[in-house]
Amino acid sequence: GQNIDQPTEMTATEGAIVQINCTYQTSGFNGLFWYQQHAGEAPTFLSYNVLDGLEEKGRFSSFLSRSKGYSYLLLKELQMKDSASYLCAVSSGGSYIPTFGRGTSLIVHP
Amino acid sequence: GAVVSQHPSWVICKSGTSVKIECRSLDFQATTMFWYRQFPKQSLMLMATSNEGSKATYEQGVEKDKFLINHASLTLSTLTVTSAHPEDSSFYICSAERLAVMSSYNEQFFGPGTRLTVL
């Protein structure tokens, strides 16, 4: 099975930078996803990391270290609309179907 | 990006009745669709993988006779919650898999979810 761990809740100030960490334990790692989910809505895809390193996409960046079983999502220039749950998900074995962590609820305040 | 719709977006039903939820991929064909359930402040839990033209594959602990899945076409999968009880109240989300063209993986596109409340 997979064990995915991320903080339950984080708060940050508008305009600031926040880093959401995710650690995982799995065998046959394929890749790691980050999704954003607003309350009562479906998740939307943010990133997919297969190789080690940092991938930047606008205000959002995602980092992966396969040897450490560790990833983070970095959000810059935070906006109020970034308040949401951020889900870390891992696919492994012969399947690309991700297994989701519990999500980190991010609250951005003025 | 691709669009996946779900219907209804919310439903309230009496205990013991059955509820059908539809998941449609609007602008692509999906051989494979997935059904998830999410309780408040919990993770998305995969219930089953729906394959067009064949039987669904259920995750451990999910009753296949209670959660009936039909994937009759490449754009439609349905989940029927039979004899619903209050403990089945949850947020049900489907996703449709689009085969990789430019990327290294098959992308999943999520529907907007269906909020089920069983009284």
In order, the DSSP letters of B87-108 are: GG-EEEEEEEEE--SSSSS-EE
pLDDT value at residue A5: 95
Token pair belonging to B21: 């939820």
Cβ contact B110–A40 (<8 Å): no
Chain A residue closest in CA terms to B44: A100
In the block, tokens 């399947």 appear at A95
Chain A residue numbers touching B105 (CB-CB < 8 A): 30-31, 48, 50, 91, 96
pLDDT digits (tens, 9 = 90+) for A66-98: 999 999 999 999 999 999 999 999 988 766 788
Cα distances from A13 to residues A57, A60, A88, in angstroms, run: 21, 16, 22
What mean pLDDT is reported for chain A? 93
**Phi, psi for A41 (deg, rounded to 5):** -120, 165
pLDDT given for residue B104 in this prediction = 63
Residue A1 pLDDT class (50, 70, 90 cuts): low
Looking up tokens 């394929």 gives: A30
Q: What percent of chain A has pLDDT over 90?
A: 76
Give the mean pLDDT of A6-32: 95
Mean pLDDT of A7-13: 96
Name the residue with tokens 């479906």. A42
Is some CB atom of chain A closer than 8 A to the CB atom of B115? yes
Mean pLDDT over B71-98 rounds to 94
Place of tokens 């939820």: B21
**Of B42, B104, B111, which is closest to A50 when you measure between CB atoms?**
B104
CA nearest to B91 within chain A:
A40
What is the model's pLDDT at position B1? 63
pLDDT above 80: residue A103: yes
Most confident of A70-79, A85-94, B27-36, B66-75: A70-79
Within 50-89 of B, beta carbons closer than 8 Å to A belong to none
Q: How far apart are CA A3 and CA A100, in angstroms?
A: 9
Q: Report the C-alpha gap between A48 and A89 in whole angstroms.
A: 9
Q: If pLDDT is split at 50, 70 and 90, which confidence band does B83 have?
A: very high
